[in-house]
Amino acid sequence: MNPSEARSGLVHRWVRSALGAVLALTIGMALYFGVAYLRRAEPHPVVKLDLLPAADERGELVVSIPMNPGYVGHEACAACHASRVAEFKTSRHCLACRPPRPEIMPVGFKPGQGGFEPRDSDLQFEMVERGGKYYQTVIRKTATGSAAVSSPIAFIYGSGGAADEVFFTLRDDRLFELPMVWLHPTHEWAASPFDPYGGGDFAREMTPRCVECHNTWFPHVAGSVNQYQREHNLVGISCEKCHGPGQAHVDYHRRHSRATAPHDIIRPALLPRERQMDLCAQCHSNAIKYRKPAFSYRPGEPLEASFLTLHTRRPEDDHVANQTQYLQQSRCFQQSDSLTCTTCHDPHRAPPPEGVGSMSCLNCHSADNCPDQLRLPSAVRANCAGCHMPSLNKIQVYFFTAADAYLPPVKRCEHRIAIYPQARRKLLHEWRRSQPGADNAEEAARLARDISAQALADAKRYRSEYRLLAAIDACRETLQFTDDAAVRGELDELLAVQTRLDRDFFEAIRLKDAGHSNAAISLLEQILKIKPDWAKAHGRLGSLYAAVGRRELAQQHLLEVSRNDSDDPYGEAMLGWLAYLAGRPDEALRQYRLADAREPYNARIQWEIGLAEVQLNHWHEAEVRFETALEIAPNFAAALHGLDHVLRQQGQLEMALSCGLRAAGLTGWKDAEVVLSLAETYAALGRFDEAQQAAARALQAANRDNLSLIVRIRERLEAFQAPPAPK
């Protein structure tokens, strides 16, 4: 057989090998609970950056860390803008991320104040200061004693003592969020949601998007979920988050000290309104999925070019903050050509004094515009924001205290400017309670009854819609105005149901990981009886049904994922994989393209689209997808393996060899399919001695139980040992 003939028969064998060898890898990954399959699973190993040798084509890890595009930090700005920088240092933006220092640490680290025991748990947390450093320690009680794990605190996320402060630890080059949180409004420790079956310090990995919103520059290792270069970062939000990298600006004005017009810097006030809004929407929106690498957005660019914005159905599904979207839904915004976030907020300063929002309203509106003015007490009349932008709980962020569960730390201002009758009642109730006289007391009581009745009706409606968190919040609001035993009982029941759902979901994960698929399926089925719109539970149940061969049920539940969460690509990606395995590449591509639209910067989805294109013999299209996967994750061995094959099919043999060598090296020469593909590339190049060596290594790596693969490798080894005579 000549090299060309050897190549021509590889297509079906390569696809067959993908159906076998890759099946176990990817289905196993797809079944990983949480968000591992699409969002958290890293397609290459994490490496110690300071120990890396130079990269080469034989499998050394390529580490792609973006160069600092010119960020210099706000201290460089202070040379010319000292008062502005001094003012900015007091803002919540500047305080968004800080290293721990004694003067800023909460009193919860003082002796005797750092203990916390989660309810219904065998864990105990201790937060302490030792030798000028701060630690979170987890103590797990066991039958034979206790085991403790301490983690040093590297960074604090918060807002300078106004709300909650979250603590982070570094492990080598990776950043993890610790479970304990200090709540400033209630002056107590609380726990973030964490997996009770986890281990160590129970921390969770941080995504680059979280790091990006709290910092100006943090060099992120391309393709990794959570790996950073620890040096050369700019912690916290600096002037450059909105004005762009300042190096060229600083250099110019140092050279031209008499120049007064600013050069080489973004002036947000001169940007179109859409681009001004984008500056705030970097973090105050649902723009949390990437279209480009982390930290690549620059002020003045369209935000949607760098991020995909989620389209949540309910406020409790929002990201941490989504103020820009709600503001843009307001008639005030839509009927104005100048209203932006900075109409009410000055990003350079500490939070404005009470009432500034109403003062901003009067820039466009007069008192006569409000038909309620004459019917309101004078003290309430001027509080436009209180009625039209009320402070509400946003329960998508919640914590667990010693006495309560699913507790939002602070109220946030509603940014959809509108008429809120309940907010009007609350303002009037507060005012009436503050006034003397029986008439005011009676009116305050009537308003309290009305507020409570509306909140209780909302709670019942939310529960009927399976919006348990919203129902919990509505019950709490009711109890602020009436101590009704029935309402308290409803709240307790809702908290118990939500707690059980979360506990059972973690238990299902544990059962799956322990190999108890049927038990995990049973538990997920029970979860969905209580909350049938939980997209994540549908996705994991569908994957488990697929794993045990119940394909029809798998498809039903995987279809429910996007029906219940239009931003979640899990169901469509899994349906695409199942169609691919069944030899239906056209259907696989249809599903994968839907998943790609929901998660456009995902290396694994790009790779799987490439596999489906291979089934259709679309070599160039597959090449593009594998290359895209490698742009996102440079050390994705499976994508290199695929690229080796499709380049070989197109006669690009030297490039194919480079990819094959890297794929083999990245897998430690232990993946028989990868090494066999490399052997085929050597043979196509006429380098039969090296083809024999690679095939022999593939035979060594092959699983002894995979007889068909062993037979195939031996057949190819024999063919390489007897190459065709030159023509």
Q: What is the pLDDT of residues 104-129, one digit of tens each?
A: 999 999 999 999 999 888 899 999 99
The answer, yes or no, to whether residue 321 has pLDDT greater than 90, is no
Q: Please provide the average confidence, as pLDDT, over all residues in the chain.
A: 88
- Single out the residue of 27, 123, 101 nearest to residue 580, CA to CA: 27
Residue with tokens 């062993």: 710
Q: Do 229 and 94 share a structural domain?
A: yes
Same domain, 26 and 122: no
Beta strand pairing call for 123-130 and 115-116: antiparallel
Residue 50 and residue 172 in one domain = no
Identify whether 544 is part of a domain: no
In a domain, 364, yes or no: no
**Is the distance from CB of 242 to CB of 279 less than 8 angstroms?**
yes
Output the pLDDT for position 372: 82
Asked whether the predicted pLDDT for residue 548 surpasses 70, the reply is yes
Helix axes 570-581, 551-564, angle to 10 degrees: 150
- Evaluate whether residue 623 is within a structural domain: yes
Please tell me whether residues 226 and 173 are part of one structural domain: yes
Q: Name the range with the highest mean pLDDT among 217-231, 243-257, 315-329.
A: 243-257
* Within-domain flag for 205: yes
What is the percent of the chain with per-residue pLDDT over 90, rounded to a whole number? 74
- Sorting pLDDT into bands at 50, 70 and 90, what band is 13? very low
What pLDDT, in 10s, does the model give residues 626-682?
999 999 999 999 999 999 999 999 999 999 999 999 999 999 999 999 999 999 999
What share of the chain has pLDDT > 70, as a percent? 90
Query: What pLDDT is stored for residue 48 in this prediction?
Result: 56
CATH code for the domain of 668: 1.25.40.10
Among 264-273, 274-283, 478-487, where is mean pLDDT lowest?
A: 478-487
pLDDT in tens, 160-176: 667 899 999 999 899 99
CB 637 within 8 A of CB 667: yes
What is the spatial distance between Cα 302 and Cα 70, in angstroms, rounded to a whole number?
20
CA–CA separation, 262 and 268 (whole Å): 12
Do 444 and 426 contact (CB within 8 A), yes or no?
no
Looking at the predicted structure, is the pLDDT value of residue 100 above 80? Answer: yes
DSSP assignment string, 160-191: SSSSEEEEEEEETTEEEEEEEEEETTTTEEEE
Nearest of 64, 46, 68 to residue 55 by alpha carbon: 64
Amino acid at 365: H
Quick check: 69 pLDDT over 90? yes
What pairs with residue 307 in β-bridges?
290
pLDDT tops 70 at residue 42 = no
Same domain assignment for residues 96 and 227: yes
Task: Round to whole Å and give the CA distance between 515 and 533.
Answer: 26
Name the domain boundary from 270, 301, 336.
Answer: 270
Report the 10 Å Cβ neighbour count for 614: 25
State residue 393's pLDDT score: 85
Domain count, the chain: 2
Length of the chain as a residue count: 727
Asked if 44 and 126 sit in the same domain, the reply is no
Give 44's pLDDT tier (boundaries 50, 70, 90): low
pLDDT for 132 equals 92
Q: How far is CA 723 from the centre of its chain?
A: 52
Residue 574 phi, psi dihedral angles, 5° rounding: -70, -40
pLDDT of 28 > 80? The answer is no
Are residues 19 and 131 located together in one domain of the fold?
no
Domain that holds residue 84: 74-270
- pLDDT at residue 566 tops 90: yes
pLDDT at 45 over 90: no
> 598 - beta bridge partners?
none
Are residues 36 and 97 both part of a single domain? Answer: no
38 pLDDT more than 50 = no
pLDDT digits (tens, 9 = 90+) for 126-164: 999 999 999 999 999 877 878 899 999 999 998 666 789
At 685, list the tokens.
């190049």
State the pLDDT at residue 356. 59
Smallest CA-to-CA distance from 682 within 703, 698, 671, 666 is with: 698
688 inside domain: yes
The verdict on 681 and 717 lying in the same domain is yes
Domain contains 152: yes
CA angle 495, 501, 502 (to 5 degrees): 90
Positive or negative torsion for Cα 620, 622, 626, 632 = positive
User: Band of the pLDDT at 577, cuts 50, 70, 90?
Assistant: very high
> Considering the domain boundaries, does residue 541 fall inside one?
no
Q: 411 forms bridges with which residues in the sheet? A: 393
Rounded distance, CA 93 to CA 212, Å? 13
Are 243 and 88 in contact by the 8 Å Cβ rule? The answer is no
Local confidence band at 16 (pLDDT 50, 70, 90 cut-offs): very low
Q: Are 69 and 76 in contact (CB under 8 A)?
A: no
pLDDT of 375 higher than 90: no
Q: Do 592 and 616 sit in the same domain of this protein?
A: yes
For residues 131 and 176, membership in a common domain is answered with yes
Lowest model confidence (mean pLDDT) among 27-31, 344-348, 349-353:
27-31
* Domain termination residue (choose one: 270, 302, 334): 270
Q: Is residue 543 part of a domain?
A: no
Among the listed ranges 262-271, 366-375, 412-421, 426-435, which one has the minimum average pLDDT value?
366-375
Domain boundary among 238, 270, 302: 270
Both 104 and 252 in one domain: the answer is: yes
The pLDDT value given to residue 52: 42
Helix, strand or coil, per DSSP, at residue 59: coil
- Which bin fits 497, alpha (ψ -120 to 50), beta or left (φ > 0)? alpha
pLDDT at 569 (0 to 100) = 96
Which token pair is 335?
Answer: 């009927």
Structure tokens given for 407: 């507790």
Q: How far apart are the first and last CA of the chain?
A: 12
